[in-house]
Structure formats: structure tokens, C-alpha cells
Amino acid sequence: MEQTSFIRRFSRHKLGTLSFFILCIISFAAIFAPVLAPFDPNEIVGGFGKAPTSEFLLGTDQVGRDVLSRLLYGTRISLMVGFLATIISSAVGIFLGLLAGYFGGPLDMVIMRFTDMVMSFPYILLVLVAAAIFQPGLWTMILILGFVDWPQMARLVRGNVLSIREKNYVKASKVAGMSHAYILFSEILPNTVAPILIYGTSVVAISMLDEAALSFLGMGIKPPQASLGNMLNGAQSLSILTSKPWLWLPPGLMILLLVMSVNFIGDALRDAFDPNQS
Amino acid sequence: MNEINSPILAVSGLKKYYNNSSIRAVDDVSFTINQGETLGLVGESGCGKSTIAKLIVQLEKPSEGKILFHNQDLSTLNKEDKHKNKTKIQMIFQDPYSSLNPRKTIGDAIKDPMLYHQICEKEEVHKEILRLLDLVGLPANSMDRYPKDFSGGQRQRIGIARALSLKPELLICDEPVSALDVSIQAQILNLLKTIQKELSLSMLFIGHGLSVVHYISDRIAVMYQGKIVEEADSIALFTNPGHDYTKTLISSIPILDPTLRNIRKA
Ligand SMILES: Nc1ncnc2c1ncn2[C@@H]1O[C@H](COP(=O)(O)OP(=O)(O)OP(=O)(O)O)[C@@H](O)[C@H]1O
Ligand SMILES: [Mg+2]
């Protein structure tokens, strides 16, 4: 019965609900890209930079590849980067935040100093340096983004743990002699799920934007593999911007759609988790 | 058996200082609780009552002094014995709203510690929870519900069931009725009193007013600014109060309680 009222509160957020369905459709299309894409995304199948036709629904790029097929595969990459990077950074952030907040003392100090240190580096510089050091590629990018995004998550979780560990139900568990693992994962963690999920959505959005930015700068996904950032990278010149909008409009709009949907879902989650809205 | 007179808990020279000794929350306190006895602890807000409770259940470490449970200092036990002894002292909290995890069903909240300490078999646990719920006067279907479905008084009943599930010998009640409506207070007090008798529990009952504490306690210790200033039999305390602060406490009781009124007249 908890779940039904949660869904009811979530669905009251119209944009969030719409975004959820949009994201489902996009994810479906991305997952089934190999089936849905009309062409091989990396094959030259048509003329150079041809406008959309009934055969090439979104036209072809400058080397004659089908834009629609590349869009589907690129979206797949963006979603993968967005979600996997978020899972990695959340896992690291949640783990360190739980330890720091629960045990406090010297362990807390060490973890938080380390967190501050990572946070004090200019974010983009950190990503660029890491991208320059390691072989660029999909997994490198996921790992890099995963390992720069965790500090905020760690702080968020730590802050929540600090207040939850003072609750009587945590004290009752301590008095009952329950293990630290039980208290951390069964008493405390379930009560931090809401802020974690809400913040997590913004990390998903940021990671997808970072993928686009890095690939656009040529330090992300290696061409010819399609990614939304790579597609934009291929459409940099002014003449293309003005005369061949089918080269940059689809990936640009897709990024916009993805990021906005994820953020609206975050908003709806925030409302749905708020116990004051019944 | 003459066990009634052997103390289950003996506290001596207990001190708890905070902020480099600038706050003396508990300042050289000694008392005993006998087997099957209820000791009341009264005092104004901030006098150190909860701190004593936390020290006894080892949520805090004393700055000085000893707490002996069955003549054993629990803080010096090895890990295994500590674990075994963890079930024997349980606590009921003042604020029933934060004492239950909002994301756990009542059944799970009671079940997990029981299984962890192997208090009962996995197959028996369902029956045991039903028995406990019945004992504290809650319907069987409470088991699958979440704390938000319950009132303050009902939550306190759940807290009592959870504490009892571990079969404790000593129950620490830290102002268990202060946060409740006056009409509910008597119900919970009666429940505690009945359970205490039935299970011959030993109890430390903390409160800030004498009327509630008097009702449930065999003996009462009066606390003032971190120290115990007077300790007496529950009735003797009223008929012959020794300390000025005790007299203040007595005079602040509304004369509604007929038993107290008679004692005071006498
Ligand atoms: N962790 C702490 N750090 C510093 N001071 C503390 C801490 N815990 C308690 N104190 C102080 O110790 C004193 C006693 O607190 P305690 O909670 O034991 O009082 P109490 O008698 O239970 O009061 P109440 O009736 O309000 O519950 C108070 O002055 C309180 O401010
Ligand atoms: Mg208190």
C-alpha cells in the first residue's frame, strides 16, 4: 500500500510522468537499436551530407552514414554512460558517506578531507586530464565520470546519516546489539534512498552532458563509434550549422530531451518521496 | 527464593561529563535495582536522567564509575559475552515517533533482533510476534503495517513489544509516557505495570513528574543537577520528604490523584 500512494504522488507531477514515458520509449529504442536501426551506423550507405529522404529519414552525415541509425546507437551510448557512471559514483559515494557519517571520528575526518580534496579540483580539468592520461573510449569515460562525481553523493549521504543515526530506532537497534552492517544497511540506508535517488537523477543528466562535451572535444568516445557528442563534433563548422541542420539538430535535441526528462523525473521523485504530500 | 534482595543492577560513582568536563550531566551517582523491583527516577528536565539510561544500555561510555549487572561490569566483557548479554537490558524511548523505522513493517522490526539473537526458531517467529502483539494489546494485522499507521500510544506499545521480544531481565523506560496524551498515559502505565508483574521484570522508570513515577515504582530516587539528592520507598518519600527539591516536586502534583492526596494529608 506504500507503493500505490507513491505512484499516485509521482503521477501527480505531469511533466515527470510524461518524462518517464518519454525516457522509457527512448530507452526501448536505444536498447533495440540493432533491430530498429535501418542501417549499420558505421557503414557508408549514401551520399555525403544528404538531406532527409524517405530512405534516410534524418539524412546522411558528411561521410555518407545514416543519421537516424547513428542517433539510435549514439543514444544507447549516452544512456549507458549516464546510468553506469551514476551507478559507479553513487556506489562509491554512498559507501564512503555511510562509513563517514556512521562511524564518525578519525575515519570521518579522513574520508571528508579526501572528499574535499577531490571536490576542490576544477571538475572539467579533472575529467580532461583523466581523459588525456587514459585511452579514450566508452569504458574509460564511464569510469572517469564515475570517479569524479562521487564526492557530492558522499556528502549528501553523510549528512543524512548524521541525522538518522540519532533516531531512536537506530539506538534501539544498538541497544539490541544488532551488527553494524544491519544498522547501516537495514536501518539507515533505506531511509536515505529518497535523497540518493533524487540526487542520482541529476548525476545521470550531468554524466550524459559530460559525455557529449568530452566527445565533442574529441576526448570521449572514439570515432567512428557513434555517440551524441561525436555526432555534434562532426557538425562544427558554421556552414553545416546553417545549411545542414539534420546533422546537429537530432543529436542536440536528443541530449536536450534526455537531460530534461531525467531532471523532471528527479522533480517528480522529490514530490513523491515527500511525506507531507499525501 | 530470597532473590528479591540481590541487586540486578548496581551503579556506583557514575559520572558523565561532556565538553571537557564543562557539562556535568551525571555527577557521582550510585544506586541499585533489586531483582523484580521498579526503581523510579525523577527530576527536572536536563538533570541527567536520560544520560543515566544511555550509560546503562551502553549507548554512552561513563567518564567514571561502575555499572554492574548481576555483579558483572558489562564494559569489561569479551566480545562474545557482550553479545550474549546485549539482550538482557532493553530500553523504551520517550519519543515513540522516532523509535520505529518508518521503512520497516512492525513485524520486521520485531523479527530481526529475535532472529539475530536466535531467541526463537525461524518457524516459530511468526507465532511469537503474534503473541507479543497480543501481550501489548495490538491486533494481529499490525504485523504487516508501517509505523505511520499507528498513533503515539500504539507506537509505544510496539516499542514495548520489541523490547520484550528479546526476553530482557531489566527494562529501562526513559519517560515512556511523557510524549503521550494524558488519556493514553494511564493505559501505557498500566500495561507496563502488568507486564512487569507478569514477567517479574526489573525496571528503571524515568519520569519528570512524581505522580506518574509514584504510580509504578517501588522505590524512587530524586535527581537534581546530575546528582541523586534523595532516595526512598515510594510512599515514604511522600510522607517524609527530606530534600527541598523533593518537596517542590510533591507540591507541584495536581491534587487529582486520590491516593496521593490521602498520603499528603496524612
Ligand atoms: N551529547 C551531549 N553533549 C553535551 N551535553 C549533553 C549531551 N547529552 C546531554 N547533555 C547535557 O547533559 C544534561 C543532561 O541531559 P539529559 O538528557 O540526561 O537530561 P534529562 O534529565 O533526560 O532531561 P529531559 O527531562 O529533558 O529528558 C543536559 O544539560 C544536556 O544538555
Ligand atoms: Mg531525557
All three cell numbers of B253, joined, read: 502534583
**Inter-helix orientation angle A138-148/A193-216, to 10°:** 130
Give the pLDDT confidence of A190-235 residue by residue, as tens digits. 999 889 988 999 999 889 888 888 888 888 888 888 888 888 887 7
In sequence order, the β-bridge partners of residue B11 are: B31, B67
Residue A24 has pLDDT above 80, yes or no: yes
Residue A175 is nearest to which of B57, B102, B104, comparing CB atoms?
A: B57
Residue A50 domain-assigned (yes or no): no
Domain definitions of chain B by residue range: 7-265
Mean of the per-residue pLDDT values for chain B?
89
Residue A244 lies in a domain: yes
pLDDT of A276: 59
pLDDT at position A84 is 95
B192 φ, ψ to 5°?
A: -60, -40
B202 versus A220: which is more confidently predicted? B202
**A25 pLDDT exceeds 70?**
yes
pTM exceeds 0.90? no
Query: Is A43 part of any domain?
Result: no
Q: Is the pLDDT of residue B266 over 60?
A: no
What's the rounded mean pLDDT across residues A177-201? 92
Give me the CATH number covering residue A160. Answer: 1.10.3720.10
Dihedral angle sign, alpha carbons of residues A121, A125, A127, A132: negative
Reply yes or no on whether the pLDDT at A46 is more than 60: yes
Averaged pLDDT, A235-262: 85
- A160 grid coordinates: 543524512
pLDDT class of B3 with cuts at 50, 70, 90: very low
**Cα–Cα separations (whole angstroms), residue A242 to A64, A219, A246:** 19, 26, 10
B162/A172 Cβ within 8 A? yes
The answer to whether position A52 is within a domain reads no
- Per-residue pLDDT at B255 exceeds 80: no
Residue B76: is its pLDDT beyond 60? yes
Does A109 reside within a domain? yes
3-state SS assignment for residue A160: helix
* pLDDT for the residue numbered B2: 44
A44 inside domain? no
Contact A26, A257 (CB under 8 A): yes
Structural domain containing residue A185: 2-38+58-273
Contact flag B87-A177 (C-beta cutoff 8 Å): yes
Q: Which residues line ligand 1 (CB under 6 A)?
A: B 18-19, 23, 25, 43, 45-51, 208
Q: How confident is the model at residue A156 (pLDDT cuts 50, 70, 90)?
A: very high
User: A47 or A227: which carries more pLDDT confidence?
Assistant: A227
3-state secondary structure of A206: helix
Lateral strand order in the sheet of B23-34: B23-34, B7-18, B64-69, B72-73
Question: Can you tell me which residue has the cell 535501418?
Answer: A38
What is the predicted pLDDT for the residue at A2?
61
Fold of B7-265: Rossmann fold (3.40.50)
Atom of ligand 1 nearest to the CA of B45: 25
Q: Which DSSP letter does residue A61 get? A: -
Tell how far the Cα of A190 is from the centroid of ligand 2, in angstroms. 27
Residue A46 in domain: no
Q: Does A81 score more than 50 pLDDT?
A: yes
